Amino acid sequence: MPASLRTAVASAATALALLLTGCAGPHDGRGDHGRIELSFQSLAWQKESVDANKRLVEEWNEAHPDIHVSYVQGSWDTVHDQLLTSFEGGEAPDVIHDASDDLADFAYGGYLADLRGLLPGRLRADIPGQSWSATTFDDGVYGVPFLQEPRVLIANSRILHESGVRIPTPDRPWSWAEFRRITGELTGKGRYGVAWPLKEPVSVTLNLGLSGGGRLFHRGADGKVTLRAEEGDRIVPGTIHDQVNTDHSAARTTLGMGGSDTLPGFFGGKYAMVPLGFSYRQQVVEQAPEGFEWTVLPAPAGSSGLAQGVSPQTLSVSAASPHKKEAARFIDFLLRPPNMVRLAKGDWMLPTGTSALADPSLHTAENGWATGAALAEALRPAPAQSVRGYPEWKDKVATPALQEYYSGAIGADELTRRLVEDGNRVLARYQR
């Protein structure tokens, strides 16, 4: 998912846009003709996804003349600060599109409605409990998880087949040690075995770390969370570090890149593989040169198999909305299985709902859909999902520490000290 830039100017501009488009405020949310007015802020950004969201809003409005929904375009780049501004100003949208790792502070701050009792049994039963746990805080449910994105390896098929390496499948993935060895074998003649785009290194490290048994965040019986590094927490960062600094099988120049930045080099044969979010397949389809052969492989597996953390996209209801029941009805409409499939295909992601995930169109070999669908059962909520203070730890402690470690500027012991010792000081302030 795109990282938040959190710029005050953009936040204020978006908040003003929401105000002008009729977001829920202290009024009763009814228009001039007595119909209920709801605002839905969507963070869809790819054309297919925006089109799917807008069309569903149109279909709702056609079928519900007494409950009108206005589509409001938000941005992943500024959503956290923009929402905070709108919450504090009493102008938040009624229905809020966000991600589960952004909900904790809003939920604990009382800005989001507890959805228990508002959602129909069909929707609650269709989404697995592991997904619901990503949006549950202190027993309240503050968002409906509806789209999720595993991280996969997008690989140059020609290079793989010419090398003769074993091609992994979800049933027989590479181990992390095998992955490191194979990237070394694929390196040479102006080519790296892998390119790690780690401009935002924290979620990649933590989420893939689950496969090796890593967790880093541990919640005690008293409910408080502390950071503790164990053997499993070292597998993924150690592999990446050694590929860059010891084996030289990973390109150092990509450490500061975003995922899209690596694609020109990938298409040009400079990298054999790039670990990317599942949705990047759309960019590959649209941008790859004619004749370019590529495939989708599962991420490496560790002691916990293919497990990896995800932060599902979510739909929430503002606690200040005067029409929470109607907002929940709209969410239920958006997430009916056929509609959830449309949203998933528009974003090139996986639906969380079991009925939608079973749709045959999501299990085709074309563009790697089947590989992604096979990973769905192994997806777990990201380790820091409900941890208060996580955004500060990520921005001020973990991001600079991991960037320095992956570049070779600090060693594993210093990385652990900073992540754990400095990190626990940050978390302690939020748990007094």
What does the radius of gyration of the chain's CA atoms come to, in whole angstroms?
A: 22
Beta bridge partners of 298: 152
pLDDT for 31 equals: 59
Find the mean pLDDT for residues 65-72.
Answer: 98
pLDDT tens for 143-175 read 999 999 999 999 999 999 999 999 999 999 999
Grade residue 246 by pLDDT with cuts at 50, 70 and 90: very high
Q: Quick one: pLDDT at residue 391? A: 85
Q: What is the pLDDT of residue 431?
A: 87
For residue 138 the two structure tokens come to 């202190």
Are the C-beta atoms of 206 and 255 separated by less than 8 Å? no
Are 8-148+311-380 and 151-298+389-430 equal in CATH topology?
yes
Q: Could you say which of 3.40.190.10, 3.10.20.310, 3.30.360.10, 1.10.3720.10 is the CATH number of the domain covering 8-148+311-380? A: 3.40.190.10
Lowest mean pLDDT among 23-37, 57-71, 330-344, 409-423: 23-37
What fold characterizes domain 151-298+389-430?
Answer: D-Maltodextrin-Binding Protein; domain 2 (3.40.190)
Q: Tell me what percent of the residues of the chain surpass a pLDDT of 90.
A: 86
The pLDDT value recorded for residue 139 is: 87
**Half-sphere exposure (Cβ direction) of 117: Cα atoms closer than 13 Å:** 5
Q: Where are the domains of the chain?
A: 8-148+311-380, 151-298+389-430
pLDDT of residue 28: 56
> How many whole angstroms separate alpha carbon 91 and alpha carbon 189?
57
Query: Mean pLDDT score of the chain, rounded to an integer?
Result: 92
Give the confidence band of 12 by pLDDT, cuts at 50, 70, 90: very low
pLDDT, tens digit, for every residue of 327-383? 999 999 999 999 999 999 999 999 999 999 999 999 999 999 999 999 999 999 988
